[in-house]
Every structure is written in structure tokens, then in C-alpha cells.
Amino acid sequence: MVREKINWRTFDDRGPFHEAPINRRWNRPATPTFYIIDHKGVIRHKWVGNPGRKAIDAALGKLLPQAARQPVE
């Protein structure tokens, strides 16, 4: 995470692809699969394959202001 300068939560699922716990629970179709989950826990974006930095930045750029306006619970 430091090397790639990733400053958000990320998970790595270990084990054979269809037996790994996260793959089973989320029915993940391939590697890599990227999800953006909003401040309420709702999946707002999902990409199978690498969408690229611009797509992720654009999606986060739309969601972050919404999350910032929400009161902390």
C-alpha cells in the first residue's frame, strides 16, 4: 500500500479463487474486481478488471462530497 500510495481500504483474498472467503461472499467473478462502497455501506461502483485510475478517481470525486455532507453517526 505504501509503495502504490493507496490511501483507502483494500482487501486481498488468499486461497484458491473460488474457495477464498471474500470471493464466495461477494460472488466475485474475476481478479481484479474493484468495488467502491459509499459511506452508508452501499456498493456504488463495481468493475471487473482494472478500470484505471481516472475512472476510480472520477467515481470517488462524485461520492466524497456527498459523504462529507453527511453527519457523523
**Is the confidence at residue 66, as pLDDT, over 90?**
no
Each residue of 19-47: pLDDT tens digit?
Answer: 677 777 777 667 788 889 988 889 999 99
pLDDT band with cut points at 50, 70 and 90 for residue 72: low
Q: What is the pTM of this model?
A: 0.59
Least confident of 16-20, 41-45, 59-63: 16-20
Q: How far apart are CA 27 and CA 25, in angstroms?
A: 6
Mean pLDDT for 40-56 is 91
Which residues 6+ apart lie within 8 Å of 11 measured at CB? 22
